[in-house]
Amino acid sequence: MSKKSFRAALNEALHQEMAADERVIVIGEDITGGVGGDGVADAWGGAFGVTKGLLGAYGPDRVLDTPITESSFVGAAAGAALTGLRPVVEIMFVDFIGVCLDQVMNQAAKFRYMFGGKTTCPMVLRATFGSGARSASQHSQALYPLFTHIPGLKVVVPSNPSDAKGLLIESIRDDDPVIFLEHKLLYDKIGEVPDGVYAIPLGEARVLREGKDATVFAYGRMVDRAEEAANVLARDGIKVSVVDPRTTSPLDTETILEFAEETGRVVIADEASPRCGMAADISALIAEEAFDALKAPILKVTPPHTPVPYAPSLEEAYMPDAARIADAVRRTMKYQLSVK
Amino acid sequence: MSKKSFRAALNEALHQEMAADERVIVIGEDITGGVGGDGVADAWGGAFGVTKGLLGAYGPDRVLDTPITESSFVGAAAGAALTGLRPVVEIMFVDFIGVCLDQVMNQAAKFRYMFGGKTTCPMVLRATFGSGARSASQHSQALYPLFTHIPGLKVVVPSNPSDAKGLLIESIRDDDPVIFLEHKLLYDKIGEVPDGVYAIPLGEARVLREGKDATVFAYGRMVDRAEEAANVLARDGIKVSVVDPRTTSPLDTETILEFAEETGRVVIADEASPRCGMAADISALIAEEAFDALKAPILKVTPPHTPVPYAPSLEEAYMPDAARIADAVRRTMKYQLSVK
Amino acid sequence: MQLTREELLEAYRTMKKIREFETRVNAEAQAGRVPGSTHLYSGQEAVAVGVCMALEDSDYIVSTHRGHGHSIAKGCDVAGMIAEILGKETGTCHGKGGSMHIADFDVGMLGANGIVGGGPPLACGAALSAKTLKSGAVSVAFSGDGAFNQGTTAESLNLAMVWKLPVIFVIEDNGWGEATSAEFAVAGNIIERAKGYGMRAEKVDGLSVSDVYESMRQAVEYARAGNGPTLLHITTERFFGHFNGDVDTYRSDAHKADQRKNRDCLVRFRQTLISGELLSAGELDEADSAIVTEIDVAVVAARAAKEPDPSTLTTDVYVDYE
Amino acid sequence: MQLTREELLEAYRTMKKIREFETRVNAEAQAGRVPGSTHLYSGQEAVAVGVCMALEDSDYIVSTHRGHGHSIAKGCDVAGMIAEILGKETGTCHGKGGSMHIADFDVGMLGANGIVGGGPPLACGAALSAKTLKSGAVSVAFSGDGAFNQGTTAESLNLAMVWKLPVIFVIEDNGWGEATSAEFAVAGNIIERAKGYGMRAEKVDGLSVSDVYESMRQAVEYARAGNGPTLLHITTERFFGHFNGDVDTYRSDAHKADQRKNRDCLVRFRQTLISGELLSAGELDEADSAIVTEIDVAVVAARAAKEPDPSTLTTDVYVDYE
Ligand SMILES: Cc1ncc(C[n+]2csc(CCOP(=O)(O)OP(=O)(O)O)c2C)c(N)n1
Ligand SMILES: Cc1ncc(C[n+]2csc(CCOP(=O)(O)OP(=O)(O)O)c2C)c(N)n1
Ligand SMILES: [Mg+2]
Ligand SMILES: [Mg+2]
């Protein structure tokens, strides 16, 4: 166990799985960086440095730079996954899924089903996501609701370094296509990360704290903000549970319902766009299956239904913060059930 | 007023708007059909015959066949919409959005916002959707939750001929990009359709019937099935309201909440995949904003989280039918609120 | 390279099998027994057969919406195929896929594909597996003239060159993408477009199974030797409309009659075999009737087979789906 | 075609304006005043300027992530641009877009674009408007060597030929797509790839603004006459790293020094003007200092401007959004 950044934890996961299994290969734009140049090799190690050092350790046959043609190389990852490899393919920003969704949605996700269970497609698609880096509308989306909507995909949204590592290892070993989304503002986050190899099952929520007054569900960068809110509320004597489901698909419905039932008051803090988003998805689950236990409306704390703006003053207003989460919890606490 | 098919109603809308406004053009694969052949021209009029006859009336400059390159011609529609035209572009099956999502999600939808309100992008993207035609996994999806999730898009899902006509006319006149989705099993549906030009505002639900026991919300082909269910239930003395919101974005939240509040029991019947889908979206809206009035859990009637299968025995089991809707209403009626 | 009598007979058999299969699929469709729609391969048999004759079982093909011919040529079981098309539990995909999603991994058939241009990236991936795992296999992407325009295909040509992949792009140019002619839709020239990527490219007469085979054989040799991709632009004929419900009024009756009369690859091959005294009419007739019987048995069995049980609706979405 | 003194001076001014603008943007970024990241255009000025000199205000350009140069050359206001880059309400897009989304419809600048390959289809659309509305306008798609590989670009080349659109594809080949060389990523040859579509195509030295202008002028004439598209493959130099935070270790220091010393289009143009006695050093110096002042005023004003009010977060999503 030692302190590592989210980035380093991911890098370690890739190293360990590539060392353990020859079939694991890594594909993406600039994942080494410098091909064809007269300077240093592996100059980038990916746009965010996550794949740095893999080239030196595993060579260019297993660490493949690509032209800027996401459809072809994401599709190639899917085709390779059908035929014996276990590719980890990176698209730099999840926003770029627009140019290659077909290979994910209609190909990788559906092979096993369409072909009657005759094959597996063990690939991982890694991408950064999220707002807060002043990257504007085309480089800041969350988009996991899109993937969550598509049957056949698994979707992982880690919130801290040790989860990131364990979930990535599990994703690489998983025989289904996995979308693995890394919030760009988490890369420098430091945490305790075991040095050894470990896998965290997909579909198991992590409970960060238990409090009986209300539950806050959150993914990715929102988890820290939920914790922050919980700390503030604790000072006022309001004890909230904070639950990070970690994967949106499969979803740990059991833990979610358990906490919804136990606390009866629910806030879902999510960075994705609100319409047909994850906050709505979890809310609807609870409204159908834990209705009886609800003591208050289920509150969603999300950005508005707008693209992500560039200017700091706007982007700060866009993203839900701890204050908005705490406020929602307070509103749910105040709510008095009228007699029906 | 006369009886027309859903297909004919759409065709009439296109004719009327093209006649009224020179800037309206139509773009798509085989929307005439026969280019370069030695047989008849306008042989197809679109894969489903919706654009038939436009070529003869408005000529090849305004009715443009394309190569099979959705990214380029959907993007061309967006670019044309930025520069003075009002294109109606067709992708044959909405499933094909996978090869051209970027031009919709990151371009058309975001122009106005990214550019600080300096432009409009008045385009309509038409596509067929839906299961039931034994078209298997890659030609049967609903996918409107994906578009609904994306800020900047409007999304229309008509359920009958007269709505189809009025909503398409409104969509063409709308200055924002509109995704207009036509259920392939509705094309032959006949209904009374006014002959004149009329527009139905986006974001206004249609109330098919009012009953005080429960409300069923449904889109597209599910509307008929909800009506069927309501008829069955009426025989047992259960009176349900049936509401077709008609557009998923903008959403007529006012009418939805009004009916949820009035009946206190809600069933949402939707053909889209369940996770982060429209049923969840409406459920979450109600669970947050009409909680007080709820007398029972909000029930979602959707397909399972699977791709659409080919065999009739499987596809019939996939799609929600009137029996499942009626059963959900009965379950919600039986539900007794426990004291909280 | 000279083909042996046995090889020629086998090629003829496979072409005939495809033709007969499609004839029966069409009949089943017209009788209302095919739940979905199908895209018939009739007229293009020499392409699938010439291409697949040059491949081993361990080589890969990635197919299209018009995939029956490719599947049969690569060795898929016709009984499973027809059952699949009829939507039966005995089908190749247990009824989940239908005509457009037939796949058989045991014979290297990685799947038909309902998305035009969906296949070439996948074929690059299969070639990447072969290269990385040093299996010596090659991979083939079948695409139509219409699919050739898709950005995915263009990207795949580039990627195949950049990664020097053992992949062969087989462009089956039947002159039409649905009701739109290639003359309208394909700007420039397919061979020149491939050569623009620095790719080895060759135009081939798709009415001659031996021409297709020979060009393919060389492309496979080139790829196995580690030299990278080839594109074959193979001209061919689509006898039916785009799909079984297409009345095909955009081509004149004269054109269609001429096609059947003068540009039928199966008829040509038969004539060549007989006139070259390579095989006798009797031998070919015998092959024909064996095939007719085989397909008939398959059709009858498929009709009698059960539809998949509704309980299987939710299986095989994920490996560990519950 | 001979350029007048005034035209040459104007070209020089615009090139210098771009260079100075980028220098100041870089300085603002290093001082931490640019909220996002930016892609600097320095070194490529002759391309944007040569191209846009051949255009009218009513003509369209569609730009890329590296769009500052195109914007300035097409006539966008630098004060609005720098304010936008600093995220201010006085910015071209009121702070909503930032460096990668600058657009000004009044001068035919249809927008920078954060998606590599996002632009060419849009440029086809603008050309379609011009053709359908018979406005006589032409449309330009700027793309990098990296973007040239995207399927969207390939599709657009084909569509432009099929629809015979008045569009000009300007491929700015600076040898790099981020940290990946064009030598690695672009298979074959850009001109040959364009010619494969039957497209008029020409290679141009992007260090010479007059060469760029002349080739562009001919392409515009060709397009306005209704003959269809042209592709210009323009070689150029990227002076900085891919974006302002890129330390650019993948190119040797020697390479970068040589670039600045021997392959600076602005220096070359200045030398040509002086040695050809077309403009004097004094005149050029005067132009320089006017530009330095103009940009400085713009930067100072942008720094002082207010950030957009948070209430504008939800405006302009839809025309009728409430
Ligand atoms: C992305 C996509 N666009 C459109 C279609 C509809 N479609 C199916 S087959 C076809 C024509 C394909 O033409 P070609 O590639 O020449 O193959 P052929 O049908 O001639 O075998 C089209 C347009 C599709 N399936 N996928
Ligand atoms: C679809 C997509 N893929 C990847 C990126 C990340 N990206 C931004 S710029 C760039 C390099 C573009 O290279 P080129 O087209 O040569 O333009 P240049 O940067 O040299 O001006 C990349 C890969 C992107 N923005 N969009
Ligand atoms: Mg074809
Ligand atoms: Mg470049």
Pocket test for ligand 2, best of D65, D171, D234, D240 (most atoms within 8 A of CB): D65
Average pLDDT for residues A314-327, to the nearest whole number?
A: 98
- Ligand 2 atom at shortest distance from the alpha carbon of D238: 20
Give residue C321's pLDDT.
67
- Check: CB of residue C95 under 8 Å from CB of residue B313: yes
Q: Establish whether residue A101 lines the binding site of ligand 2, counting it when its CB lies within 6 angstroms of any ligand atom.
A: no
Give residue B10's pLDDT.
98
Give residue A1's pLDDT.
82
- Per the listing, tokens 């919980």 go with A230
Report residue A42 as tokens.
Answer: 């592996």
Residues 189-248 of chain A whose Cβ lies under 8 A from any Cβ of chain C: none
Cβ <8 Å between A113 and C96: yes
Q: What is the CA radius of gyration of chain B?
A: 20
User: Residue A339 above 60 pLDDT?
Assistant: no
Pocket test for ligand 1, best of C170, C178, C183, C251 (most atoms within 8 A of CB): C178
**Mean residue pLDDT across chain B:** 97
Q: Which residue of C has its CA nearest to D182?
A: C162
pLDDT per position as a tens digit, D247-288 = 999 999 999 999 999 999 999 999 999 999 999 999 999 999
The length of chain B in residues reads 340
Q: Establish whether residue C299 lines the binding site of ligand 1, counting it when its CB lies within 6 angstroms of any ligand atom.
A: no
Annotated active-site residue in B139, B149, B183, B305: B139
Average pLDDT for residues B36-52, to the nearest whole number?
A: 96
User: Residue A338 above 70 pLDDT?
Assistant: no
Q: Which residue of B has its CA nearest to C250?
A: B39
Nearest CB among A99, A276, A338 relative to B149 is that of: A276
- From C71, C70, C17, C11, select the one nearest C289 (Cα to Cα): C17
Cβ <8 Å between A148 and B114: no
Q: Which residue of C has its CA nearest to D148?
A: C155
Give residue B1's pLDDT.
82
**CA dist., res. C207 & res. C47, Å (int):** 8
Residue partners of B48: CB distance under 8 A and separation at least 6: B7, B92, B128, B182, B184, B187
Residues of C with CB under 8 A from a CB of D: 149-155, 157-158, 161-162, 184-189, 192-199
User: Residue D51 above 50 pLDDT?
Assistant: yes
User: Residue D320 above 90 pLDDT?
Assistant: no
Question: A61 to chain C nearest CA, in Å?
Answer: 7
* C315 near A CB under 8 A: yes
**pLDDT confidence tier of residue B340, bands split at 50, 70 and 90:** very low
pLDDT per position as a tens digit, C263-286 = 999 999 999 999 999 999 999 999
Q: How many CA atoms lie within 13 A of D312 on its CB side?
A: 23
**Mean residue pLDDT across chain A:** 97
Average pLDDT for residues A109-120, to the nearest whole number?
A: 98
Cα of D244 from ligand 4 centre, angstroms? 15
Q: Establish whether residue A276 lines the binding site of ligand 2, counting it when its CB lies within 6 angstroms of any ligand atom.
A: no
Give chain A's domains with CATH numbers.
Answer: 2-193 (3.40.50.970), 206-334 (3.40.50.920)
Give residue C1's pLDDT.
60
| Ligand 1, atom 21, residue with closest C-alpha | C144
Average pLDDT for residues C135-141, to the nearest whole number?
A: 98
**Mean residue pLDDT across chain D:** 97
- In this structure, are strands D180-181 and D176-177 parallel, antiparallel, or unpaired? antiparallel
Alpha helices in A195-274 (DSSP H): 221-235, 253-263
Average pLDDT for residues B196-219, to the nearest whole number?
A: 98
| Percent of chain C residues past pLDDT 70, beyond the cut | 99
Contacts of D187 in chain C (CB under 8 A): 157-158, 161-162, 197-199
In this predicted complex, what is the ipTM? 0.98
Please report, for chain D, the start and end positions of each structural domain, with discontinuous segments joined by +. 5-303
* A104 near C CB under 8 A: no
**Element housing A74 (H / E):** helix A70-82
Cβ <8 Å between B115 and D91: no
Q: Establish whether residue D48 lines the binding site of ligand 2, counting it when its CB lies within 6 angstroms of any ligand atom.
A: no
Note if A139 is an active site residue: yes
| Ligand 2, atom 19, residue with closest C-alpha | D177
pLDDT per position as a tens digit, D110-156 = 999 999 999 999 999 999 999 999 999 999 999 999 999 999 999 99
- Check: CB of residue B309 under 8 Å from CB of residue B137: yes
Cα of D70 from ligand 2 centre, angstroms? 16
Question: A142 to chain C nearest CA, in Å?
Answer: 24
Q: Please tell me whether residue A313 adopts helix, strand or coil conformation.
A: helix
Q: How many CA atoms lie within 13 A of D246 on its CB side?
A: 27
**pLDDT confidence tier of residue C2, bands split at 50, 70 and 90:** confident
| Ligand 1, atom 20, residue with closest C-alpha | C177
Q: What are phi and psi of D244, to 5 degrees?
A: -65, -20
Give residue A340's pLDDT.
44
Cα of A98 from ligand 2 centre, angstroms? 15
User: Residue B245 above 70 pLDDT?
Assistant: yes
Contacts of B138 in chain A (CB under 8 A): 106, 110, 114
pLDDT per position as a tens digit, A247-266 = 999 999 999 999 999 999 99
* Other beta carbons less than 10 A from residue C178's beta carbon: 22
Q: What are phi and psi of A53, to 5 degrees?
A: 90, -15
CA-to-CA dists, residue D275 to A4, A89, D214, D259, D278, angstroms: 60, 53, 20, 21, 8
pLDDT per position as a tens digit, C199-244 = 999 999 999 999 999 999 999 999 999 999 999 999 999 999 999 9
Q: Give the mutation candidate from B74, B138, B313 for the C interface (greatest C CB count, under 10 A).
A: B313
Q: What is the DSSP string of C288-308?
A: HHHHHHHHHHHHHHHHHSPPP
pLDDT per position as a tens digit, B272-326 = 999 999 999 999 999 999 999 999 999 999 999 999 999 999 999 999 999 999 9
Cα angle for residues D155, D158, D162 (degrees, 5° grid): 135
Which protein residues have their CB within 5 A of the ion that is ligand 3? Answer: C 144-146, 174, 176-177
- As a three-state string, the secondary structure of chain B is CEEEEHHHHHHHHHHHHHHHCCCEEEEECCCCCCCCCCCCCCCCCCCCCCCCCHHHHHCCCCEEECCCCHHHHHHHHHHHHHCCCEEEEEEEEHHHHHHCHHHHHHHHCCHHHHCCCCCCCCCEEEEEECCCCCCCCCCCCCCHHHHHHCCCCEEECCCCHHHHHHHHHHHHHCCCCEEEEEEHHHCCCEEEECCCCCCCCCCCCEEEEEEECEEEEECCHHHHHHHHHHHHHHHCCCCEEEEECCEEECCCHHHHHHHHHHHCCEEEECCCCCCCCHHHHHHHHHHHHCHHHCCCCCEEECCCCCCCCCCHHHHHHHCCCHHHHHHHHHHHHHCCCCCC
Question: C176 to chain B nearest CA, in Å?
Answer: 9
* A154 near C CB under 8 A: yes
**pLDDT confidence tier of residue B338, bands split at 50, 70 and 90:** low
Q: Fill in the amino acid letter for C75.
A: G
Q: What are phi and psi of B174, to 5 degrees?
A: -70, 140
**pLDDT confidence tier of residue B229, bands split at 50, 70 and 90:** very high
pLDDT per position as a tens digit, A196-224 = 999 999 999 999 999 999 999 999 999 99
Q: Establish whether residue C116 lines the binding site of ligand 1, counting it when its CB lies within 6 angstroms of any ligand atom.
A: yes
Q: What are phi and psi of D80, to 5 degrees?
A: -65, -40
Q: Give the mutation candidate from A69, A97, A319 for the D interface (greatest D CB count, under 10 A).
A: A69
Residues 46-75 of chain B whose Cβ lies under 8 A from any Cβ of chain C: 47, 65-69, 71-72
Pocket test for ligand 2, best of A68, A70, A135 (most atoms within 8 A of CB): A68
Average pLDDT for residues B49-55, to the nearest whole number?
A: 98
| Percent of chain D residues past pLDDT 90, beyond the cut | 98
Q: What are phi and psi of A46, to 5 degrees?
A: 90, 155
**CA dist., res. D99 & res. D82, Å (int):** 8
- Ligand 1 atom at shortest distance from the alpha carbon of C65: 9
pLDDT per position as a tens digit, A14-37 = 999 999 999 999 999 999 999 999
Chains in contact with B, where contact means 3 or more Cβ–Cβ distances below 8 Å, are A, C, D
pLDDT per position as a tens digit, C87-113 = 999 999 999 999 999 999 999 999 999
Cα of B308 from ligand 1 centre, angstroms? 20
Q: CATH number of the domain at C5-303, out of 3.40.50.12160, 3.40.50.720, 3.90.1150.10, 3.40.50.970? A: 3.40.50.970
- In this structure, are strands B247-249 and B154-156 parallel, antiparallel, or unpaired? antiparallel
Interface contacts A/D by beta carbons within 8 Å: 163
Chains in contact with D, where contact means 3 or more Cβ–Cβ distances below 8 Å, are A, B, C
- Check: CB of residue A72 under 8 Å from CB of residue C117: no
- Ligand 2 atom at shortest distance from the alpha carbon of A98: 1
Q: Establish whether residue C180 lines the binding site of ligand 1, counting it when its CB lies within 6 angstroms of any ligand atom.
A: no
Q: Please tell me whether residue C312 adopts helix, strand or coil conformation.
A: helix
